[in-house]
Chain A
């Protein structure tokens, strides 16, 4: 391990530790429902962050990550049913299984570019959940499988709320994923991902193996999707085809873009948006008294409008917009003291 890598690791661990303490305080003070929302954001973060590596860092578009989440959720349900491993081991196994699935998909995907990759992964998102009805005895058909919720350890006390425990599990998963991905992005692999994204020919000339790099990126992001699916199963008890529709795959991609393509900070924003937007728009439509047709569809309309507006107003996502705003504030403060410098890109 080089000195730089060690510093990076230390810094990422420090960030994760600080975030962990923050989350511990937060989850212990807020209401049970807020804990549900935090847990949901946490598993969305894992999936969105994984997709950020694939799409933002490596330039491969996937409309099929919802299906990979399904693999993780079903694996968690089946493994949890079959053996009495600790939950962490079950989730790790689910992530590993999904990574293997990702290896298969990634190997096929490495041959495809742009819209063809999008088309193939879209077919994956639509096709894979049908396995549940094809093998209905094993996968529970359209009702799917119900995952038993995790039991908080007795040491936390008999009245420890389940929602907080689920939030802790999901947040722990998110922090581990964060540390691993943040290190990966700063490592040689990260450089290879970006080199291949920016120019395949140049990357090849520089000695990178293009196809292998793309497969690695796919496997990494699939493992994240698997972990996210496992966490979803733990938090919501759900492993059912109706939960892993094309809409979920699309939502994950939306999270990546809304947050800001390519940065893990953006993934945090994206995950938060995926949880809070529907909830807020629901509140909004509930607050107005409208005819039932309008009422039922207002949240959906709001969601669509936000998607369009964010891209048109802030093409670099929420994180990009935030960075710009901070930069501008910084600029203004400096302007008071010194002559204004040209804005840096």
Chain B
């Protein structure tokens, strides 16, 4: 029982991270129909920027804000300068371009900061809560992570449901021609979508950094699991990303705990295939998908 509780809590904490990574992919997919493989590189880069700030003795929270701000800027910049030119092109071209950006960012980070992994502080204590005299695998920092991801989700729901910006973004994503006719500046909405997604990604970066250390390749696994979570949930659905992330986090924690850590990636494959065999467009697939 103790084991089950530990694994469950561990899974929830990991799941929150996967959910945030998945969310950043889903937001871009919704906005521009592009799978953004560069996300791992973008959030790595913003986390390195935050690390630089914190390492210079500036406060953690300022570093946190710098990460978010640079995430916002980087998303907009990447969309405007590079990705814009492959929007509407065959989807594979966009995949290769985002892979190119990923490789380039990893190389640049290696040049600027080297390959030595850096220590990144957590926002709160990483000491596990005591339950019945036993420290469980869940700390104040884990709770913070879960709450932040939940807050981001709530914020996104509010944005898309109740604000005019959210409405314009949805219109641009789903009916760009109609939106354009109605006077929405669709291109700007794409930029906003990328900036927002990159902001969520940078958040995932600072949240996971304490437990993976910061180096050019530290976040590759997060992207893989985030992508898996997004596909499980359904790429068009932000709530799907959250549910997919949570499910994947839990499942992988149980797999690691009960079957051995060497089976984790096989477990991810099994869960993904099982989900897609039942729901070929993810758990939260809308009626718009699968017209054939």
List the A residue with the shortest CB-CB distance to B92: A257
Q: Are A307 and B95 in contact (CB under 8 A)?
A: no
The answer for the CA separation of A54 and B277 in the assembled complex, in Å, is 21
Q: Which residues of B contact A300 (CB under 8 A)?
A: 103-104, 106-107, 110
Tell me which of B102, B112, B228 contacts A123 (CB under 8 A): B228
> By the criterion CB–CB under 8 Å, are B273 and A123 in contact?
yes
- Contacts A300-B106, A303-B103 given; does A246 touch B224 at CB 8 Å: yes
One digit per residue, 1 when the CB lies within 8 angstroms of any chain A CB and 0 when it does not, for chain B 267-280 equals 11110110011001
Q: Is the CB of A307 within 8 A of B93?
A: no
A92 at the interface (CB under 8 A from B): no
Q: Closest Cβ of chain A: how far from B177's Cβ, in Å?
A: 20
CA A312 to CA B106, docked complex, whole Å: 20
Decide yes or no whether B111 CB sits under 8 A from chain A.
Answer: yes
Q: How far is the CA of A55 from the CA of B231 in the complex (A)?
A: 20
Q: Is B249 an interface residue (CB 8 A)?
A: no
Is A111 in contact with chain B by the CB < 8 A criterion? yes
Q: What mask results when residues 39 to 53 of chain A are scored 1 for a CB within 8 Å of chain B, else 0?
A: 000000000000000
Q: A201-B292, A311-B93, A311-B96 are in contact. Are A120 and B231 (CB under 8 A)?
A: yes
Given contacts A111-B280, A115-B29, A134-B263, contact A297 B100 (CB under 8 A): no
From B96, B108, B272, name the one whose CB has the most chain A CB atoms within 10 angstroms. Answer: B96
Given that A119-B227, A128-B269, A308-B101 are known contacts, is A108 also in contact with B276, CB under 8 Å in the complex? Answer: yes
Which residues of B245-290 are within 8 A (CB) of A?
A: 262-270, 272-273, 276-277, 280-282, 289-290
CA distance A55 to B91 in the complex (A): 11
Q: Pick the interface stretch among B48-56, B81-89, B122-130, B192-200.
A: B81-89
Q: What does the 1/0 interface line of B223-247 toward A look like (CB < 8 Å)?
A: 0100110110001000000000000
In the complex, whether B222 has a CB less than 8 A from a CB of chain A is no
> A315 to B92, alpha carbons, bound, how many Å?
10
**A55 nearest CB across to chain B (Å):** 7
B104:A120 contact, CB within 8 angstroms? no
Min CB–CB distance B270 → chain A (angstroms): 8
**Could you tell me if A130 and B29 are in contact, using CB atoms closer than 8 angstroms?**
no
Interface residues of A in 188-214 (CB under 8 A from B): 200-201, 210
Beta-carbon contact of A301 and B266 below 8 Å: no
Q: Closest CB of chain A to B71's CB: distance in Å?
A: 20
> From residue A330, how far is it (CB to closest CB) to chain B in Å?
26
Interface assignment of B114: CB less than 8 Å from any CB of chain A: yes
- Which A residues touch B231, using CB under 8 A? 115-116, 119-120
Q: Is A127 at the interface (CB under 8 A from chain B)?
A: yes
Q: Tell whether A113 pairs with B104 under 8 Å between CB atoms, given A127-B266, A131-B266, A293-B110.
A: no
A131-B267 Cα distance, complex, nearest whole Å: 11
Q: How far is the CB of B2 from chain A (nearest CB, A)?
A: 27
Chain B nearest Cβ from A112, distance in angstroms: 5
Residues in A neighbouring B218, C-beta threshold 8 A: none
Taking a contact as CB atoms under 8 Å apart, the answer to whether B281 and A116 are in contact is yes
User: Given the complex, which residues of B lie within 8 Å of A128, measured CB to CB?
Assistant: 266, 269
Residues A311 and B97 in contact, CB atoms below 8 Å apart: yes
A312 to B98, CA, bound (A): 12
Is the Cβ of B276 less than 8 Å from the Cβ of A111? yes
B85 neighbours in A (Cβ, 8 Å): 312
User: Judging by beta carbons under 8 Å apart, are B99 and A312 in contact?
Assistant: no
Q: Which residues of A contact B289 (CB under 8 A)?
A: 113
Interface on chain A toward B: helix, strand, loop, or mixed SS?
Answer: helix
Q: A115-B35, A115-B231 are in contact. Are A296 and B115 (CB under 8 A)?
A: yes
Please measure, in the bound complex, the distance between the C-alpha atom of A126 and the C-alpha atom of B93, giving whole angstroms: 22
Q: If A119-B272, A126-B268 touch, does A261 touch B92 (CB 8 Å cutoff)?
A: yes
**A305 on the interface (CB 8 Å rule)?**
yes
Chain A residues lying within 8 Å of B96, measured Cβ to Cβ, are: 253-254, 257-258, 307, 311
In the complex, are the beta carbons of A301 and B108 less than 8 A apart? yes
In contact, B292 and A116 (Cβ under 8 angstroms): no
Q: In the complex, are the beta carbons of B228 and A119 less than 8 A apart?
A: yes
Residue on A with the closest CB to B90? A261
Chain A nearest CB from B80 CB (Å) reads 14
Bits for B120-164, please: 1 = Cβ < 8 Å to A, else 0.
000000000000000000000000000000000000000000000
Assess whether A127 is in contact with B265, with CB atoms less than 8 Å apart: yes
B269 with A124: CB separation less than 8 A: yes
Interface string of B183-220 (1 = CB under 8 A from A): 00000000000000000000000000000000010000
Q: For residues 218 through 274 of chain A, which have their beta carbon under 8 Å from a beta carbon of chain B? A: 246, 250, 253-254, 256-258, 261
**Pick the contact of A312 from B82, B107, B113, B216 — CB < 8 Å?**
B82
User: Is A153 interfacial (CB-CB < 8 Å)?
Assistant: no
Q: Are A308 and B110 in contact (CB under 8 A)?
A: no
Given contacts A61-B95, A131-B266, A294-B111, list 12 more A-B pairs with CB under 8 A. Answer: A115-B29, A123-B272, A126-B268, A127-B265, A127-B267, A127-B268, A246-B224, A253-B96, A300-B103, A311-B86, A312-B82, A315-B93
4 A-B pairs closest in CB distance? A307-B100, A127-B269, A304-B104, A119-B231
What are 14 residue pairs bridging A and B, where the CB atoms are less than 8 Å apart in the complex? Answer: A114-B91, A115-B29, A119-B228, A119-B276, A120-B276, A126-B265, A127-B266, A130-B264, A253-B95, A254-B99, A261-B92, A293-B113, A300-B107, A304-B100
Interface residues of B (CB under 8 A from A): 29, 35, 82, 85-86, 89-93, 95-97, 99-108, 110-115, 216, 224, 227-228, 230-231, 235, 262-270, 272-273, 276-277, 280-282, 289-290, 292
